Amino acid sequence: MGIVDVRQPLGEHQQQQQQQHHRHDDMQVLKEVAPDLPVVPGPLNDYRQTASFNWKQLRVVLEDPEILRVKMNLWRRLDADPVFAHPKVTPTVEEQKRHVSNQLKHFVGKDLIPQEVHSWPYKNKTRFMMAINAATSSWNKNLSVKWGLGVSLFTNALLSLGTERHLPFYEAVWENRFLFALVMTEVGHGSNTKSVRTTATYDPKTQEFIVNTPDFQAAKCWAGNLGKTCTHALLFAQLITADDTCHGLHAFLVPVRHPETLMPYPGVTVGDLGEKIGLNGIDNGFVMFNNYRIPRENLLNRTGDVTAEGEYESCFQNPEQILGAALENLLAGRVAISQESIHDLCTAVTVSVRYAAVRKQGGPRNAKEELSLLEYPLHQWRLFPYVAAACTFKVFIGDFTDQYLELVEQSYKGAEMKDLTSTASEVHAIVSAMKPLITWTCASALQESREACGGHGYLRASVIGSMRADHDATVTYEGDNNVLLQQASNWIVKHWNLAKQDNTSAILEVSPLGTLHFLINGEEKLKGRFSGSNVGDVMNVHFVKSAYEWLMCWLTQALDTELQRLKSAGLDRFTARGRVHAFYSKPLALAYGENNVLCYFWEKLRTPGIPSNVKHVMEHLYLLFGLWCIQRNLVYFYRGNFANGSQMADLIQEACQSVCHLLKPDIVAVIDAIAHPDSVIKSILGRADGKVYDHLYDAYMSQQGNMDRPSWWKEVAAKPQSKL
C-alpha cells in the first residue's frame, strides 16, 4: 500500500463540497495531491516565479481532492511496479497485446480495487471506479480500455441489466477467471444499433437460446478483447421467441473461449482484426455464431425475460430501475471517455507549454538573448485556449459527473419518476454534446501541441504522437461524434416553442439541470444587439455569458425555422432532419456543449472560499475559453444581426490577444495545477524540471544501437574503388 490509502471510501458529495472550501489551505491535503516540484534554475522556473497565485490551490479547486488522491496513489503504485513499466521502443503488435494482457491480469489481481468497493453505495463506487479508469488511461490507454471493456464497464452493465442469477459472472471477472468483450457493432451496422442482425432464438424444448449470425455483414466486429483474449461476450442480439416474434435488442452472456485454454468453442468463429492505426495493445476482434446454444439464464433479464415455456415477459413493473439501467449503460462509457480525454488534453498542453517556456527561438535584432516561444503572441494563441479548455472542462466534468451519478442512484432507489424522466433526457443531451466537444478539442490540441513542439515533437519520446494515435478512436467509439450531436440538437430544438410561448415554468420543468435556461425570455434575448465600443466591453465575464445566451437562442430558433420551412415544403421529418444537420444542428449542439462548460465554470467561480488570486486567474481562463468559442462562432452573431460592421469582430480579436497576454505570467503555474506527474506523462519535452536538452541528450544517447553501423551496411555502402 502506498502513502495514501486508495481504499479509503469517498465521502458524500455535500460533505466534500463543504470541506472543499477549506482544502485550499489544508497543507496535508495539498502535500498529498500536489507534491512540490523540482526547483531547477532555468526558463521554466523563471516563469513559475511570475505567477500571481499558488498552483496547488488552483489544483484543488479544479478537481475534487478526494478524486486526486485516488489518482495520485494509483500512479505511485503503478510506477513502483515493473509490470507496468513502459517499453523503450515500440514492440510488435503481438508483443503489445501480450504486454497489455499481462498488465491487465496483474491489475485486476493486485488488489487495486479492494473488495469493499463492491458494497459501497452506487455513486461512491462509480466515482472511485471512474477515477481509477481515468488515471489508468493516462498511464496506458490500452490498459484502461481493456480493463473498462473486460471488467469495469462490463460489471456495471451486468449489475444494471442482469439479476441475481448473473452474480457468479460478476465474481468470476473480479477474480480474474473470466474476461468479457462488449459486442454490439456488426460489419454492416455501427451507429444504427437498432438494425443489428445477430439473432438469439429461444428453443423451449431445450430451454436454450440459439445464437446465429445470418451472414458476414452480421458478423460482430471491433469489440475490444474479442480478438484473442476474452472468454465471454456480452452480446447484443435480436431476441426471437418460438412463435417467430422479434422482441428487439437484448443482452446475452455468451461463452466464446475456454477460460483455461483460450480455445474457441465449437460453433464460434472468432479472430483478431489485425493492426490498427493506434491502440494496438487491444485485441479488437470479430465473431460469427453458427447455431450456437446458450442457456436461457444467460439472457440479462432485468428489463425483459423469457419463461422456461417460451413466453416473453416485460418487467416494466419497475420503471425507475429500468430507467437507471438504460442511463447507466448508454452514458457511463461516454462520461468515462470524456474524463480520459480531458486527462489527455492536460498532458498535451503540459508538454507543449513547458516546452514553449524552455525553447528559445529567434528574437529582435540586437537582443542579447533569443525569446522563449511562450513570448510570441501567435504561440500563445495556438496553445493558451487549449489550456483554458482543459481547466474549464475539468470543472465541468467533475460537477456534471456527480449530478449524473446522483440521478442514476436516485433511480435505483425508486425516486419519483416524473422529475427523473426530464433529468434523464437532459443528461442524455448533455452527454451527447459533451463527448464530441471534449474528444474533438483534445484531438486538435494534440495536433497543435505536436506542431508547437516542432521537430522534437515528432520524436516518439515526446509521447504526443502515440497519444494522438490512441486518442483518435474516441471520436468514433461509444457513439460516433457526428451522430451523437444530432441527438443533442433534436432535444434542444423541440423546446424552442416554450421560449416562443414565454413559458418559464415549462422550461424549468424540462430542464431540471438548467442547461435550457437560456430559453427563458428567449425571444426577448434575441432582440439584443452588440453595443460595445472598447475592449473592456467584451473582455468581461458578463459579456461572454450574455453573448452565449444570445447565440444559443439564435441557433435554436434558426434550426427550428429551417425545419419548419422544409416541412412546409413537403419534406418528411427524416429528410428534413438530414438536411439541417450540417449548418444548423451541428453548430447548435456544439455551442450547447460549450455553453454548458461555461455555465458550470461560472457556478464554480461563485463558490465561496476560493482565494481571490486563484479566482482571478480562473476568470481569465473562463474569459479565454469563452472568447475563443465566440470567435469561432462569429459568423452567427452577424447572420443573426447581433452585430454589424467590424466592431465586434475587431474587439473580440483584441480581447483574445489581451487575455493571452494577461495569462502569460500565470500560464506555467496553471499548467502545474493540471499536470500529471512526470512518471505519468513520460515525455522528455514536458518534464517539471524543464531540463529539455538534458533529457533530449539522454534520449539520443541511450537509444540502443543508434550509433552502431547497421548490420546491412554492405548493401548500401559504396563499393571499394578499383585501384587500377
Ligand X SMILES: Cc1cc2nc3c(=O)[nH]c(=O)nc-3n(C[C@H](O)[C@H](O)[C@H](O)COP(=O)(O)OP(=O)(O)OC[C@H]3O[C@@H](n4cnc5c(N)ncnc54)[C@H](O)[C@@H]3O)c2cc1C
Stretch that binds ligand X, among 82-90, 178-186, 197-205, 303-311 (CB under 6 A): 178-186
Phi-psi domain of 248 (left: phi exceeds 0; alpha: psi -120 through 50; beta: other): left
Residue found by looking up cell 457556478 in the block: 603
User: Least distance in Å: CB of 578 to ligand X?
Assistant: 7
User: According to CB under 6 A, which one of 128, 178, 222, 393 is a site residue for ligand X?
Assistant: 222
- Strand ranges of the sheet holding 220-223, from the earlier edge strand across to the other edge: 220-223, 285-289, 268-272
User: Does residue number 183 form part of the binding site for ligand X (CB under 6 A)?
Assistant: yes
Stretch that binds ligand X, among 13-21, 217-225, 263-271, 374-382 (CB under 6 A): 217-225
Pick 187 or 605: Cβ nearer ligand X = 187
150, 180 in Cβ contact below 8 A? yes
**Could you please report the per-residue DSSP string of 611-672?**
-HHHHHHHHHHHHHHHHHHHHHTHHHHHHTTS--SSHHHHHHHHHHHHHHHHHHHHHHHHHH
**Cα(313)–Cα(191) distance, rounded to whole angstroms?**
28
DSSP-based helix, strand, coil % in the chain, nearest 5: 60, 10, 30
Stretch that binds ligand X, among 177-185, 433-441, 604-612, 649-657 (CB under 6 A): 177-185
Backbone angles phi, psi at 251, to 5 degrees: -105, 140
SS3 265: coil
User: Does residue number 30 form part of the binding site for ligand X (CB under 6 A)?
Assistant: no
Neighbouring C-beta atoms of residue 613, cutoff 10 Å = 15
User: Does residue number 329 form part of the binding site for ligand X (CB under 6 A)?
Assistant: no
**Binding-site size, ligand X (CB under 6 A):** 18
**Cα(107)–Cα(97) distance, rounded to whole angstroms?**
15
User: Least distance in Å: CB of 7 to ligand X?
Assistant: 29
User: Does residue number 218 form part of the binding site for ligand X (CB under 6 A)?
Assistant: no
Pick 483 or 649: Cβ nearer ligand X = 483
User: Least distance in Å: CB of 345 to ligand X?
Assistant: 19
User: Least distance in Å: CB of 284 to ligand X?
Assistant: 5
Pick 8 or 217: Cβ nearer ligand X = 217
What is the amino acid identity at position 701? Answer: M
User: Does residue number 476 form part of the binding site for ligand X (CB under 6 A)?
Assistant: yes
- Residue 525 vs residues 259, 341, 550, 564: alpha-carbon distances, Å: 62, 34, 6, 21
Pick 43 or 227: Cβ nearer ligand X = 227
504 has which bridge partners? none
24, 618 in Cβ contact below 8 A? no
Neighbouring C-beta atoms of residue 649, cutoff 10 Å = 17
User: Least distance in Å: CB of 329 to ligand X?
Assistant: 12
User: Least distance in Å: CB of 479 to ligand X?
Assistant: 6
Q: Which of 557, 564, 563 is nearest to 588 (CA)?
A: 557
**Cα(371)–Cα(362) distance, rounded to whole angstroms?**
6
User: Least distance in Å: CB of 587 to ligand X?
Assistant: 15
**To 5 degrees, how large is the angle CA 135–CA 137–CA 140?**
115
Pick 227 or 324: Cβ nearer ligand X = 227
655, 535 in Cβ contact below 8 A? yes
2 is in an annotated binding site: no
Pick 237 or 688: Cβ nearer ligand X = 237
429, 484 in Cβ contact below 8 A? no
User: Does residue number 185 form part of the binding site for ligand X (CB under 6 A)?
Assistant: yes
Q: Which of 407, 247, 432 is nearest to 330 (CA)?
A: 432
User: Least distance in Å: CB of 441 to ligand X?
Assistant: 18
The residue number whose beta carbon is nearest to ligand X equals 190
Pick 281 or 522: Cβ nearer ligand X = 281
User: Least distance in Å: CB of 612 to ligand X?
Assistant: 45
Q: Contact letters (x/-) for ligand X, 275-314, by CB under 6 A?
A: ----x----x------------------------------
Pick 152 or 284: Cβ nearer ligand X = 284
Find the binding residues for ligand X in span 120-149 (CB under 6 A): 149
What is the amino acid identity at position 688? Answer: A
User: Does residue number 487 form part of the binding site for ligand X (CB under 6 A)?
Assistant: no
**Cα(115)–Cα(125) distance, rounded to whole angstroms?**
11
Query: Any idea how long the chain is?
Result: 724
**Cα(138)–Cα(700) distance, rounded to whole angstroms?**
25
User: Does residue number 252 form part of the binding site for ligand X (CB under 6 A)?
Assistant: no
Pick 359 or 471: Cβ nearer ligand X = 471
User: Least distance in Å: CB of 157 to ligand X?
Assistant: 12
Find the binding residues for ligand X in span 674-713 (CB under 6 A): none
User: Does residue number 477 form part of the binding site for ligand X (CB under 6 A)?
Assistant: yes
User: Does residue number 593 form part of the binding site for ligand X (CB under 6 A)?
Assistant: no
Pick 124 or 225: Cβ nearer ligand X = 225
**Cα(512)–Cα(175) distance, rounded to whole angstroms?**
41
Stretch that binds ligand X, among 162-170, 216-224, 422-430, 442-450 (CB under 6 A): 216-224
578 is in an annotated binding site: no
User: Does residue number 273 form part of the binding site for ligand X (CB under 6 A)?
Assistant: no
Stretch that binds ligand X, among 180-188, 295-303, 376-384, 397-405 (CB under 6 A): 180-188
Find the binding residues for ligand X in span 606-665 (CB under 6 A): none
Stretch that binds ligand X, among 162-170, 222-230, 292-300, 366-374 (CB under 6 A): 222-230
236, 161 in Cβ contact below 8 A? no
**Cα(642)–Cα(631) distance, rounded to whole angstroms?**
14
User: According to CB under 6 A, which one of 483, 506, 571, 696 is a site residue for ligand X?
Assistant: 483
C-alpha dihedral (291, 292, 295, 299), degrees to nearest 10 = -80
User: Least distance in Å: CB of 95 to ligand X?
Assistant: 19
Burial class (CB in 10 A: 0-12, 13-18, 19+), 152: buried
User: Does residue number 482 form part of the binding site for ligand X (CB under 6 A)?
Assistant: yes
Burial class (CB in 10 A: 0-12, 13-18, 19+), 530: buried
User: Does residue number 190 form part of the binding site for ligand X (CB under 6 A)?
Assistant: yes
Stretch that binds ligand X, among 94-102, 474-482, 678-686, 708-716 (CB under 6 A): 474-482
| Residues with catalytic roles | 478
User: Does residue number 153 form part of the binding site for ligand X (CB under 6 A)?
Assistant: no
411, 425 in Cβ contact below 8 A? no
Find the binding residues for ligand X in span 374-413 (CB under 6 A): none
SS3 712: coil
User: Does residue number 184 form part of the binding site for ligand X (CB under 6 A)?
Assistant: yes
Pick 252 or 550: Cβ nearer ligand X = 252
User: Does residue number 224 form part of the binding site for ligand X (CB under 6 A)?
Assistant: yes
Which 8-state DSSP code applies to residue 186? B
Binding residues for FAD: 185, 224
Binding residues: 185, 224
Residues that bind ligand X (CB under 6 A): 149, 182-185, 190-191, 222-224, 279, 284, 473, 476-477, 480, 482-483
